[in-house]
Structure 1
């Protein structure tokens, strides 16, 4: 696409081709012989020679000014030059790669120029299945998020694992982005392929300011995923052991004695993963150490092969959890679990607490 400036009348005409440029320059009918030249004044290089009334110039650079003129030769040998025609090319067509590059580089000016050029497919995913909004939300590029939303991006669109932009922002801890997405229609009720909500991912991320705001904004604290039946508190017990996040969830009403599909409680999961301080917190907040698990058959409880879960555990812990699903299928308590897995500090903690809870023997004199 060319933008042609008429040097004769100083008019501008958008979307004109080379033929229009020639007509503006005065070529309205077939001529005896014409040379079509590109000019870097004072030098003009020939591009075409013949009797045609139009010529297409290819291989032009984007956003570049070119100057053209005609040399018209009559049968008598006399010739005349047309006025110079100035032609400015527009930018190159926007590809999805070019669009995503602007977002990855956090280049606000470039992104605005791309939108000003028009015809942008704002929700086209990159090679990883992420839209531009997902990338900006995950990286915390708040200004880019606003630009994308104002240009019609879908805030509830999901990637291949079912995660949306809100989940990614919650996990990464970008509270400003989280608030903005919520104001523009992002939902707490959305779930990924594993059934996890944004609060599950925020709990994994461990950003207390995000978790606290999410709770105040009304997200459900005890939502269970569809894989293992884990609540956000279960995720904390299994993954990070973050006491501050656990405290926020418990203060908001999270059930400390909730059971997953294997009959395990947050306390059991914290014991298995040797989160001693979290074990102490759960006990202080009313976790029942006498509950037995209720596994009815062999299952794996400390990880998932689903890509959507992205839970990282060591190979040793994973092997122990696989073994535990067989060992405890008839019902075991947290103290037995701690002993089997040699969690000595946790064993000492549980035994000390049990002693304190035993009724004192009365002495008869």
Structure 2
């Protein structure tokens, strides 16, 4: 109902006389292209996505800039990749939006936003449209794969499914979660990053651990997709850790195995403290996977 009203509202604006000012923005630099669907609930999101795709098509025909960025550097494509709206993403890409456009602060692309937020359908669509899976952000220390791996292990640890109990009980869990909390300030992406989506208090930042608790996220499928498409599995983050190290530290055997089985993992890499993947292995199973691949 709300979307139907919004659709009629946009139609009226676009067909108005005199013509609407295409350069007009709101208080944080958003154009109408950024705004549709920001408050959609998960159950209604597919329907909202269809309506937003129609509205986006109308705004495109009216002459709005598909790559316009708000004050925080987000494009409409970034917004809908984050929200998980593939129909709207497709309209933007078919209309000529830059598939690998990156924000100014972190250098993140829409594919990275999809990976950060576990939106597999959007990630798959963007790869089909030519998104660069090896594009780097954060000063060259992160790819889309790194974001997907990091948030998958956060999700798993938050659900209490890691293998730390084999090697010494709950202490391992606490250490890993404390590490993630400390690194949350580095802003590896997610619902808490300052963006041009729904308005939020700048001091009301969700932690990176909170992100892992969100249901319906498909980080594993995204990681598998990116690996098949040639993502660099050896990219080191600012602390020198590779995606395999992150997964091994969390005790995520399936994720470690999936990456190692590509045959492209360099297990000789060490982080800034001189630790290699074998040092990070939390369980015997993971150590065996790594040793067998050396």
TM-score category by the smaller chain? 0.5 to 0.7
Match of 2:134 in 1: 222
Of 9, 15, 26, which residue of structure 2 is paired with 1:116? 15
CA drift of 1:187 comes to 0.3
Higher strand share: 1
Of 68, 82, 85, which residue of structure 2 is paired with 1:157? 68
> For residues 152 and 287 of structure 1, do their structure 2 counterparts lie closer, same or farther at Cα, with a shift above 3 Å needed?
same
> For residues 128 and 272 of structure 1, do their structure 2 counterparts lie closer, same or farther at Cα, with a shift above 3 Å needed?
farther
Q: Larger radius of gyration, structure 1 or 2?
A: 1
Higher helix share: 2
**C-alpha contact 1:191 1:197 (8 A) present in aligned 2:** yes
Give the superposed CA RMSD. Answer: 2.7
**C-alpha contact 1:289 1:333 (8 A) present in aligned 2:** no
- CA–CA distance in structure 1, aligned partners of residues 240 and 133 of structure 2: 19
**C-alpha contact 2:80 2:86 (8 A) present in aligned 1:** yes
For the pair 1:191 / 2:102, whether they are aligned, the reply is: yes
TM-score normalized with structure 2 length: 0.65
> For residues 106 and 161 of structure 1, do their structure 2 counterparts lie closer, same or farther at Cα, with a shift above 3 Å needed?
farther
For the pair 1:351 / 2:287, whether they are aligned, the reply is: yes
Match of 1:209 in 2: 121
Match of 1:333 in 2: 276
Match of 1:268 in 2: 245
Q: What are the ranges of 5 or more consecutive residues in structure 2 without an aligned counterpart?
A: 41-48, 154-218
**C-alpha contact 1:267 1:289 (8 A) present in aligned 2:** no
Superimposed CA distance per residue, residues 292-334 of structure 1 (whole angstroms, 9 cap, x where no aligned partner)? 3242xxxxxxxxxxxxxxxxxxxxxxxxxxxxxxxx2xx1012
For the pair 1:248 / 2:225, whether they are aligned, the reply is: yes
> For residues 357 and 226 of structure 1, do their structure 2 counterparts lie closer, same or farther at Cα, with a shift above 3 Å needed?
closer
**C-alpha contact 2:245 2:277 (8 A) present in aligned 1:** yes
Within 5 Å, which residues of 2 pair with 1:10-159? Answer: 107-119=6-18, 120-136=20-36, 140=49, 141-159=52-70
Q: What are the ranges of 5 or more consecutive residues in structure 1 without an aligned counterpart?
A: 1-102, 296-327, 359-365
TM-score normalized with structure 1 length: 0.53
* Number of aligned positions between the proteins: 216
> For residues 168 and 278 of structure 1, do their structure 2 counterparts lie closer, same or farther at Cα, with a shift above 3 Å needed?
same
SS in structure 2 at match of 1:150: helix
CA drift of 1:284 comes to 2.3
- CA–CA distance in structure 2, aligned partners of residues 153 and 274 of structure 1: 47
- CA–CA distance in structure 1, aligned partners of residues 119 and 30 of structure 2: 23
